[in-house]
Structure 1
């Protein structure tokens, strides 16, 4: 039987939402083993001069606990 845990992180990117997800998972994987899924819980953007300056995403990262 496997037990999973969910932790939340906030990731940002000036490029795209997808880039924010990728960089969030990449950074989380440095300290979390066994990542099995991600849920984008919230999406926000900062605006400057009527253009999106930065995407900010709240990610719920699921990982399986080690035995």
Structure 2
């Protein structure tokens, strides 16, 4: 039986929400092993002069805990 843990992270990008999610996973992978999945919980963006400046996601990352 494996034990899974979930952490919540935010990622951002100036290109899009998909890249923001990838940024969150990439950063998590620097210190967390055995990442199994990512669930994008929320999308947001900052706007300047009528244009989207930054895309942001809040995501939950699930990983296996080593025993």
Both proteins in one fold, TM over 0.5: yes
DSSP 3-state at the match of 2:66:
coil
CA displacement 1:4-61 (0-9 Å, x = unmatched):
0000011100111111011110110001000000000111000111111001110100
TM-score scaled by length of structure 2: 0.96
CA separation in 2, counterparts of 1:43 and 1:2?
A: 30
Unaligned runs of 5+ in 1: none
TM-score scaled by length of structure 1: 0.96
CA separation in 2, counterparts of 1:59 and 1:28?
A: 11
Alignment of 1:45 with 2:45, yes or no, is: yes
Over the aligned positions, Cα root-mean-square deviation in angstroms equals 0.6
Unaligned runs of 5+ in 2: none
CA separation in 1, counterparts of 2:16 and 2:56?
A: 9
DSSP 3-state at the match of 1:24:
helix
Q: Which 4+ residue blocks in structure 1 deviate beyond 3 angstroms?
A: none
